[in-house]
Structure 1
Amino acid sequence: MRKVGIAGLIICLTSLALGAPDWPSLRKVVERSSLPGTELLGESGDLSITMIEGVDRFLDAEIAAELKDRRGGTREELARILGLPRDQNPEGNSFRYAGRRWGPIGNGQNYTVNEVRWKTFGNMEALGLLFEPSESAPLVDVIALPDADQDPEELGAMEPYSERQQTHPFAAQMAMAGCRVLVPVLIKREEHHAMPMREWLHRPAWELGRTLAGYEVLKVLAAVDCFRRKNPSRSGQTTSRKIAVVGWGEGGRLALYAAALDERLDGALVSGYFGPRGRVWDEPADRSVFGLLRGHSDAEIARLIAPRPLVIETGHFPEYGFRLDQEGIPERIREGAGKRGKPGRLLESKDEAVRIEVELIGTETVALRSTNCAIQPESWRMMLEKIGVGVPPKREEKSDSGWAAIKPLQTVKDIARRHGEQVQAIDRHNQRVLIESERVRGELFKIVKTDSVENYEASITPLRERFSKEVIGEHASLQKLAEPNAHTRSYQEGPGTISYEVLLDVQAGVQAYGILTLPRDMKLDGSEKRPVVVCQHGLEGRPQSTVGEKDYHYYKAFATRLAERGFVTFAPQNLYLGWDLFRILQFKANAVGCTLFSVMVPQHRQITEWLAGLPFVDGDRIGFYGLSYGGKSAMRIPPLVDRYCLSICSADFNEWVWKNAATDQWSARYSYANKGEYEIFEFDLGGTFNYFEMAALICPRPFMVERGHFDGVAPDKTVAYEFAKVRALYAAQLGIGKRAEIEWFVGPHTINGDKTYEFLHRHLQWPVTPAK
């Protein structure tokens, strides 16, 4: 017992020698009161989650409003949101036989099957199987698109699919009926980096202003080019045959898009896809299209096909899901997940829902068929008849020797190799586009004038507007703020500070929540006005993370420490809390052409307007300081919130587009392309605004970066590379170099609170006094 007592005494003396803990000593306020001029906050529970759930309901209402409006879109806009204008297919295109020894890989009753290649965008080549009639000239050219998880061989009932198909073997059936049929290879959903392969390729494409669906539509349009031109391996005559497109599942989606975009396609059959898209956010990530519901739901896209015929099959949809719970519903985990991809499943629309969507098309050129197996002969016969192509009756019926017999030289390994080649080709194209993206952004910023600060401010304004409308996105209902209706209650107090929880109305059920911390020696009657620092938490953080012991190793209680220095501070709750809860919000927002920040920007406008209206605040001296995801906020929110007179980005600044889109082995450690933050990608950021360009939108206001050498967000060299451009703009071009700084410190992913505090004192014009 004596030894234990001595040990306890030693521990006690050691603790005294080491002093108090690093975080500030704060205690809960017992008797709650409101900030003068506000109502007492009475709400209980988790106010952060309540706020985020309110935004969820707001986005549901925004989607419902878009679906009710149903204004028609255009081909040009559909092409833009799919990313097609960024890439061009080559001229003078043709099919090249690519099978072993240049011979057919299979022979049917009256057709042959060859593996072919054709050029597409960039240095890409598409691959597929070409089914060609062997006894007569083709009646029609058909592009037959499988679901993503089907190999082309399945559409021909070829080995290893001769006894199992998810659809009728419609490529073989149409070839037997006299059609020339091309079946392209699509990217499968098989798992890669703990996510679907399609999502892994879609992520960088999205960041670079493209989509995986857009890439595959370009393959289809390139095939149309091949069918339309002279084929040197044939008679040498220019073809005038009709061209049709047929698809099931993912292939049905691509057939719908391709027919809407290219009027050279004379007709289309869409199976296993068409229906209401109000829950597109619940589908796999690669189904996402930025702003799809603003004029390009399925009915609106189908309207672009008219007056050409469209046949829609319903009743049989592919079954697929990723990260589903025991009931087959996409997971909604709030504290992290083992797999990195977005939870989602392919939607199966009921016949009645499809019928209602078809009625919205409003044309007589659409036929709807309900079937129990996809791509029935009656369906494609109907479509061909509508484009004026008659097929001899029952010519496609199977006989004992009807289907193509696959040659031993074409093996399952060959099929896997072919798919792997397509994956690598798209990945290489994404990486080439990534390299070119800096030049594209440079072209965009040529309109900026740097001969004077005044001319700079005038010339940068259109780019701020583009950033707001096209990258961040704008909800019309949030552009006018409601009365803040501020409710507050005292929260914590320390030796030199007192804090209040604050709840503000923004608009349409959207609220803003945060913690206001005041210096105790400050007068609240308006006889003095002080600057404010808005202290923004990072991923999965809360306002409480910035004030005291909670998450101190990251935030160093900087909201309280700055208040101890005499600043008013406000720590808002941003939306990135709750794992799947907030990440799905991004996909809901994307569906209507918006992002998480399209809600957070109005929230911060309301916060800063309310702060500026407090009698003890100088509304012209409100700065922003954010860590990690709060650093992302520091790059995106201040450019669009005029009240922010400066911005500090901590533990986040780097070559952001590279961090999202790079897939090479060295970059993989840092890149989000293979990580769990599946919501992080912003459409076409690569072609518009990297972190230098975002800093240029903040300029000429003061801007600072806080960077720890051991921060795993990025290597020092990519941070330095991107900041060098910021420094050149401020110092060399505009002559305001004192307004742009970076602090390098020896440390990890954390607030350092040294040079950044000096920066705040200097630019917010508040004297440096010893912390109390």
Structure 2
Amino acid sequence: MMRFPSPLLALVLFVSFPSFVAAQALKLPDPLPGTAPLKLSEPLDEHMVAGIDRYALQALAQSPQLRPEKWNYDFNSHAAFIESIKENRARFKTIIGAVDSRVIGPGFELLSTTEKSSVIAECPAFKVHAVHWQVLDGITASGLLLQPTGEIKARVVALPDADWTPEMFVGLKAGVPKSAQIPLALAARGIQVVIPTLMSRDANFSGHPEVFYTNQPHREFIYRMAFEMGRHVIGYEVQKVMAAVDQFERLDKQDGRILPVGVVGVGEGGLLALFSGAADYRIQSTWVAGYFQQREGVWREPIYRNVWSQLTEFGDAEIAAMIAPRSCVIEACAVPVVDGPPAPKKGQRASAAPGVIEIAKPASVKAEFERALPVFEQLGLQQNLSLVFSGEGTGPAGSGKALADFLFGLRIRQNKKLIPPVELRRTANGIQVDPNARQEQQFNEMNAFTQELLNRSARYRDAEWQPGKYTSVALWEKDADRLRDKVYDELIGRLPAPEQPVPLNVKTRKVLQHDQYQGFEVMLDVTPEFVAGGILLIPNDLKPGERRPVIVCQHGLEGTPMDTIRADGHSYNAYKNFSEQLVKRGLIVYAPQNPYKGRDRFRTLQRKSNPMQRSLYSYIIPQHERTLEWLSSLPFVDRQRIGFYGLSYGGKTAVRVPPFVKQYVFSICSGDFNEWVRKNADSAHRYSYVFHGEYEIFEWNMGHVANYAELSYLMAPRPFMVERGHNDGVAPDEWVAAEYAKVRRFYTQMGIGDRTEIEYFNGPHTINGQGTFAFIFRNLNWKPSGD
């Protein structure tokens, strides 16, 4: 075998050999010179996704060791400690979406009529009222108030599991073990208790009558739209707890005394109790039943527990530590288990994300507890953090020890006199509360509040971006990198830089030999764990020493590079073999494999990445950077002329990769550009992803960071184009036109309006290849060869 002085020189010499100048005779060796043989036995996409999966799981596993970097505890005094975690607490409230101003309500409002009393049940020690209270502008909380008949010793918010109604939590309806009916034990001891209704795991209202209904739990349906707007079903419900504490303070002022405040929750209520105790310093005692554990496996849990960036700073231990120096009780116990979303009922479509809830393993609870304990110990308050196992950790919530420790935190001494079990009696003239109607009302309020955020979000973005002030390229370029970094860090998420440079380690194998071009499957390393790859198409009429431009042609959802090349088969309907068309016109073409293939196999990557403040594009951007690094090293590539063209999810890539990879000289978004925030958060439109199965599609706070117009601004002053079929079901023309008008205005007011365009064509979700091809040839300064 002939040996050359260097791999790249080998390729130069090979292409320059006179016997290979004729186009029809060109045959490049396999593998390409300068690369190792590619011997991958599994499909490239499976290998790629598996590698990213390993990377994401490693990051989750390592997160507890990295979190201390985000904390700067001051243990010199309790006041110093509280001050030292002030910014952590503020960030915590931000990432759970508890950021809106609460309404100053008139107190707990008793639900009664001229004929019916608010008292629905009673016993000698207390009465049970149906109540609601104000939370946010348009959001109320609704549930039960247990009002002691004697002196009130403390006030508590009690949070049931999401599968339990308030009535079940106090035994008025079946379904909750006696010992887990914690509000009764508290009210019997003279504690005023309020129980809010939580968003349930039912799916009765998850949809719209003019679109369709889904099997998404109510919590997931609200989560999806709220996540896009920087809000969360968790944040809304923590706000309900804090609004109850607001009313407690109001009562204290009215009574002329300050009573201790506590929060207790079981299961999903335990999550909310933990988060509320950490978020609101007015809560003196927190009791978390059946939730606390190591959280690095949160991606297996229901998606409505997915919190962007949480595990970079806040595991359960760190959240519990924010409760210090106050009291926190961790009870390991049984909770309602969840083996997945509800099965679709008649009239519902299956679109819910997978996710399970299991009873926490005692070892996991203990390990996380031991990470939180040192904070309390260094404050000299180890007695304020307690761990209680109900049975072996699988008994019902509400054990006597947990109750005693919680009361200790409320400064209530246990009465040595035995308190008899509570026997509630329903009142004859009590108002009848329909739990289903109450759930619908609470659901509709969260929905409407989030939709109003959506409607206002464009004004917020305009105020942040101020697009009208950029009247020249010079003015824009002063701010562009700052805005680019903000979007990268806040919306996409940035991988940490490697400690040492990673060799490209390029491997290739020939997969196509056509009379006009040759194709090589390529794989190269991005990190030691995961790769980039695709198919490189090289025209056969390359001349000695010639450097040609490259067009990167990106496939869509569940696609492969070959889908963009084939001139037959189902994929041709969408892609029209645009990669092959362009290589036949003399361009070098690279068709990358992006990792959005494999259904849940890739969708769970988003679940594993979001807690570490990462998204799918956190991996895709570095993949493209490394790919361009290699392409630029090839002797027949003009590194100054590399453009991007993507369809569908590839169009989604067109506004999320080239804006951050400046080597791309232009970007074309085909079959995807639209009012993307509305497409993700609108709960009454058939185009919205709120209704569909792509649960990975939602991006944290996109509504307040950057929509497609703002992402496209980041391309400027480089050229940008949109390709749009009138019959494309991605979105209506009106959404596309309105969003693109912002881009057109932005370019035009800087004097570069000729660098952006949109082509409409009378067709579906497909490559049209007319105006876009002309745009490619013009901006790559290429005169195409014949078909």
TM-score (ref. length: structure 2) = 0.88
Aligned counterpart in structure 1 of residue 413 of structure 2, from 372, 390, 397: 390
- 5 Å matches for 1:454-603? 454-477=474-497, 482-523=502-543, 527-548=545-566, 549-550=568-569, 551-603=571-623
Match of 2:154 in 1: 140
Aligned counterpart in structure 2 of residue 434 of structure 1, from 436, 451, 454: 454
| Separation in 1, partners of 2:273, 2:411 | 19
Does structure 2 retain, via aligned residues, the 8 Å contact 1:538–1:627? yes
Give the deviation of 1:393 after TM superposition. Answer: 3.7
Does structure 1 retain, via aligned residues, the 8 Å contact 2:202–2:342? no
Amino acid at match of 2:225: P
Does structure 1 retain, via aligned residues, the 8 Å contact 2:117–2:429? no
- 5 Å matches for 1:100-179? 100=113, 101-134=116-149, 136-158=150-172, 160-161=173-174, 164-165=176-177, 168-179=180-191
Give the deviation of 1:103 after TM superposition. Answer: 2.9
| Separation in 2, partners of 1:578, 1:725 | 35
2:180 partner SS: coil
Q: Residue deviations 1:507-552, cap 9 Å, x none? A: 13111110000111013x5x11111111000000011111113411
* 1:189 is the counterpart of 2:221: no
Give the deviation of 1:93 after TM superposition. Answer: 4.8
Q: Residue deviations 1:460-513, cap 9 Å, x none? A: 211100111111101104597622111111111223111111011111311111
| Separation in 1, partners of 2:747, 2:669 | 16
Q: Residue deviations 1:371-412, cap 9 Å, x none? A: 02102343223211233122434554315xx2242657655x
Distance change >3 Å, CA 88–CA 481, structure 1 → 2: farther
- 5 Å matches for 1:346-425? 346-361=357-372, 362=374, 363=376, 364=382, 365-371=384-390, 372-393=395-416, 396-398=419-421, 402-405=423-426, 407=428, 410-411=431-432, 414-425=434-445
Distance change >3 Å, CA 613–CA 408, structure 1 → 2: farther
Does structure 2 retain, via aligned residues, the 8 Å contact 1:545–1:555? yes
Does structure 2 retain, via aligned residues, the 8 Å contact 1:481–1:606? no
| Separation in 2, partners of 1:214, 1:446 | 29
Match of 1:332 in 2: none
* 1:345 is the counterpart of 2:356: yes
Aligned counterpart in structure 1 of residue 724 of structure 2, from 681, 694, 707: 707
Does structure 1 retain, via aligned residues, the 8 Å contact 2:145–2:195? yes
Does structure 1 retain, via aligned residues, the 8 Å contact 2:229–2:704? yes
Match of 1:278 in 2: 296
* 1:745 is the counterpart of 2:757: no
Match of 2:786 in 1: 770
Query: Could you tell which deviates more after superposition, 163-172 or 691-700?
Result: 163-172
Give the deviation of 1:448 after TM superposition. Answer: 7.8
Aligned counterpart in structure 2 of residue 261 of structure 1, from 279, 294, 311: 279
Q: Residue deviations 1:345-367, cap 9 Å, x none? A: 11422112211111101221210
| Separation in 1, partners of 2:744, 2:615 | 29
Match of 1:619 in 2: 639
* 1:292 is the counterpart of 2:310: yes
Query: Could you tell which deviates more after superposition, 477-486 or 93-102?
Result: 477-486
Distance change >3 Å, CA 661–CA 479, structure 1 → 2: farther
Give the deviation of 1:237 after TM superposition. Answer: 2.7
| Separation in 1, partners of 2:281, 2:656 | 40
1:293 partner SS: helix
Match of 1:328 in 2: none
Does structure 1 retain, via aligned residues, the 8 Å contact 2:63–2:312? yes
Query: Could you tell which deviates more after superposition, 29-38 or 682-691?
Result: 29-38
Give the deviation of 1:703 after TM superposition. Answer: 0.4
* 1:237 is the counterpart of 2:255: yes
Unmatched runs of 5 consecutive residues or more in structure 2: 1-23, 72-87, 207-213, 377-381
| Separation in 2, partners of 1:84, 1:475 | 27
| Separation in 2, partners of 1:33, 1:167 | 71
Distance change >3 Å, CA 528–CA 561, structure 1 → 2: same
Distance change >3 Å, CA 751–CA 155, structure 1 → 2: same
* 1:650 is the counterpart of 2:685: no
Aligned counterpart in structure 2 of residue 610 of structure 1, from 630, 637, 640: 630
| Separation in 2, partners of 1:449, 1:606 | 35
Q: Residue deviations 1:56-98, cap 9 Å, x none? A: 111111111112333255101111111122x111235521112
2:360 partner SS: coil
Aligned counterpart in structure 2 of residue 80 of structure 1, from 94, 112, 129: 94
| Separation in 1, partners of 2:246, 2:342 | 41
Once superposed, which parts of structure 1, at least 4 consecutive aligned residues long, lie more than 4 Å away?
29-32, 406-411, 477-481
Match of 1:46 in 2: 43
Match of 2:224 in 1: 203
Identity of aligned residues (%): 39
| Separation in 2, partners of 1:447, 1:707 | 24
Does structure 1 retain, via aligned residues, the 8 Å contact 2:119–2:430? no
Query: Could you tell which deviates more after superposition, 284-293 or 548-557?
Result: 548-557
Give the deviation of 1:368 after TM superposition. Answer: 0.6
Amino acid at match of 1:183: I
Give the deviation of 1:634 after TM superposition. Answer: 0.4
Give the aligned length: 717
| Separation in 2, partners of 1:659, 1:185 | 29
Give the deviation of 1:768 after TM superposition. Answer: 3.3
Amino acid at match of 1:33: D
Distance change >3 Å, CA 180–CA 396, structure 1 → 2: farther
Give the deviation of 1:699 after TM superposition. Answer: 1.3
Does structure 2 retain, via aligned residues, the 8 Å contact 1:147–1:247? yes
Q: Residue deviations 1:567-599, cap 9 Å, x none? A: 111011111000000000001000111001000
| Separation in 2, partners of 1:454, 1:258 | 47
* 1:248 is the counterpart of 2:257: no
Match of 2:704 in 1: 687
1:698 partner SS: coil
| Separation in 1, partners of 2:428, 2:640 | 77
Amino acid at match of 1:697: L
| Separation in 2, partners of 1:32, 1:663 | 55
| Separation in 2, partners of 1:418, 1:714 | 34
| Separation in 1, partners of 2:693, 2:602 | 13
| Separation in 2, partners of 1:404, 1:440 | 52
1:210 partner SS: coil
| Separation in 2, partners of 1:281, 1:31 | 45
2:94 partner SS: helix
Match of 1:637 in 2: 657
* 1:226 is the counterpart of 2:240: no
Distance change >3 Å, CA 70–CA 557, structure 1 → 2: same
Does structure 1 retain, via aligned residues, the 8 Å contact 2:117–2:431? no
TM-score (ref. length: structure 1) = 0.90
What root-mean-square deviation, in Å, do the aligned CA atoms of Structure 1 and Structure 2 show? Answer: 2.1
Distance change >3 Å, CA 642–CA 396, structure 1 → 2: farther
